[in-house]
Structure 1
Amino acid sequence: MNLVTATDVVSAAAKIAPFIQQTPLLHLPGERLWIKAENRQPTRSFKVRGALNAVGRLAEQGAGHVIAQSSGNHAQAVAYAAGRLGLRVTVVLPDTAPSLKVDAARGLGAEVVVVPPALREVTCTALADHLGAAVVRSDDFDTIAGHAGIGAEIAAELPGVATILVPVCNGGLLAGVAVAAKAANPAITVIGVEPALAADGQASFRAGHRVTWPVEDTYRTVADGLRAPVLGALAWEHIRLHVDDMLTVTEDAIVAAMDLLSAKVGERAEPSGAVTTAAYLTHDLPPGPVAAVLSGGNI
Structure 2
Amino acid sequence: MSLHIETPLIESLPLSRQAGRSIWLKLEALQPSGSFKLRGIGLACETYAQQGKRRFVSSSGGNAGVAVAYAGQRLGVPVTVVVPESTTERARNLLRELNAELIVHGASWAEANTLAQSLLDDESAFLHPFDHRLLWRGHASLVDEVARSGFRPDAVVLSVGGGGLLSGVIEGLERNDWGELPVIAVETRGADSLNQALRAGTRITLEAITSIATSLGAKQVCERAFDLARSHDVRSVVVSDRAAVNACERFLDDHRLLVEPACGASLAMAYEGAEALEGFDKVLIVVCGGVTATVDNLREWARVCA
TM-score over 0.5 for the alignment? yes
Q: Deviations over 1:182-217 (max 9, x none)?
A: 333223111211111110111122333311112xx2
Mark the runs of 5 or more structure 1 residues left unpaired by the alignment.
1-14
- RMSD, matched Cα: 1.9
Distance 1:277 1:158 in 2: 23
Match for 1:281 among 262, 267, 271?
A: 271
1:53 equivalent among 27, 43, 46 = 43
After superposing the two structures, state which structure 1 stretch, 92-101 or 234-243, moved more: 234-243
Q: Structure 2 length normalisation: TM-score?
A: 0.85
Whether 1:259 and 2:249 are equivalent positions in the alignment is: yes
Question: 1-side partners of 2:102 and 2:267: how far apart?
Answer: 32
Shift of residue 151 of structure 1?
A: 2.2
- 1:193 aligned to which of 173, 181, 186: 186
Which residue number corresponds to residue 43 of structure 1?
33
The corresponding residue for 2:112 is 120
Query: Contact conserved, 2:170 with 2:179, CA < 8 A, in 1?
Result: no
In 1: Cα distance, 2:174 partner to 2:240 partner: 28
**SS in structure 1 opposite 2:119?**
helix
One-letter amino acid of the structure 2 residue matched with residue 170 of structure 1: G
Secondary structure at 2:190 match in 1: helix
> How many residue pairs were aligned?
279
What is residue 156 of structure 2 aligned with on the other side?
164
> Aligned partners of 1:44, 1:205: CA distance in 2, in Å?
30
Residues 178, 243 of structure 1: 8 Å contact kept: no
List aligned pairs for 1:146-225, cutoff 5 A: 146-157=138-149, 159-184=151-176, 185-214=178-207, 217-218=208-209, 220-225=210-215
Look up the equivalent residue of 1:104 and give its one-letter code.
Answer: L
Q: Shift of the alpha carbon at 1:77? A: 0.5
Post-superposition shift, 1:91?
A: 0.8
- What's the CA shift string for 1:120-165, capped at 9, x where partnerless? 2212212225x95221112211111111112222344362311111
Aligned residue number for residue 299 of structure 2? none
Q: Give me the TM-score of the superposition, normalised by structure 1.
A: 0.87
Could you tell me which residue of structure 2 aligns to residue 20 of structure 1? 4
On the 8 A contact 1:165/1:291 being kept in 2, the answer is yes
Percent identity, please: 30
Deviation at 1:27, TM superposition (A): 2.5
Aligned to 2:286: 293
Instruction: Give the structure 2 partner of residue 232 of structure 1.
Output: 222
Find the aligned partners of 1:35 and 1:148 in 2 and give their Cα distance.
16
State the shift of 1:104 in Å: 0.9
Paired letter, 2:189: A
For residue 89 of structure 2, the aligned residue among 77, 81, 99 is 99
Distance 1:206 1:148 in 2: 27
Amino acid at match of 1:90: T
